[in-house]
Amino acid sequence: MKKIAVFLCGLMLISVVGCNNQPATDTNTTTATTIGAQSTSATQEQTVGTQEQSTTVADTTANGQTTTKGQTTTNSVVATTTKGQVQQPIVTTTRPKLQLDISGANIKTVGGKMHSTISGKNYTLKWIDDFEGTTLNTNNWTPSNDANYNNGELNYKRPENIVVKDGTVTLFGKKENYKGKEYTGANMVSKNKVEYRYGKFEMLAKLPYGKGMWPAFWTMGVEEGWPWCGEIDIMEMIGDSDGGKWNFNGDSKFMATIHWCKPEATWETAYDKNKDKREIGFGSYALPGFVNSPDVTGIEKLADKFHIYGIEWSSTKIISYIDNIKVGEVDITDPTMRVAFHQPHYMLVNLSIGGRWPGAPDETTVFPQKYIIDWIKIWQ
List residues near Ca ion by CB under 5 A: 130-131, 167, 374-375
Can you say how many angstroms the Cα of residue 331 is from the centroid of all Cα atoms in its chain? 20
CB of 204 to Ca ion, least distance (A): 8
Find the shortest distance in angstroms from Cβ 311 to Ca ion.
20
C-alpha–C-alpha distance, residues 127 and 196, integer Å: 10
Nearer to Ca ion, 240 or 323 (CB): 323
Percent helix, strand, coil in the chain, to 5, is: 10, 40, 50
Q: Closest approach of Cβ 171 to Ca ion, in Å?
A: 14
| Rounded distance between C-alpha atoms, residue 235 and residue 218, angstroms | 7
Nearer to Ca ion, 162 or 287 (CB): 162
Which residue, 206 or 278, is less far from Ca ion as judged by CB? Answer: 206
What is the nearest approach in angstroms of Ca ion to the Cβ of residue 257?
27
Q: Which is nearer to Ca ion, 68 or 137 (CB)?
A: 137
Beta strands in 199-249 (DSSP E): 199-206, 213-221, 231-236
Q: Which is nearer to Ca ion, 204 or 299 (CB)?
A: 204
User: Please, is 369 exposed, middle or buried when counting C-beta atoms within 10 Å of its C-beta (0-12, 13-18, 19+)?
Assistant: buried
Taking the least distance from each CB to Ca ion, the nearer of 260 and 379 is 379
Is residue 160 within 8 Å of residue 338, measured between CB atoms? no
Q: Nearest distance from residue 354's CB to Ca ion, in Å?
A: 29
Residue 321 beta carbon to Ca ion: minimum distance, rounded to whole angstroms: 20
Question: Cis link prior to 215 (omega < 30° from 0)?
Answer: no
Q: Which of 100, 38, 95 is nearest to 306 (CA)?
A: 38
What residue number has its CB nearest to Ca ion? 167
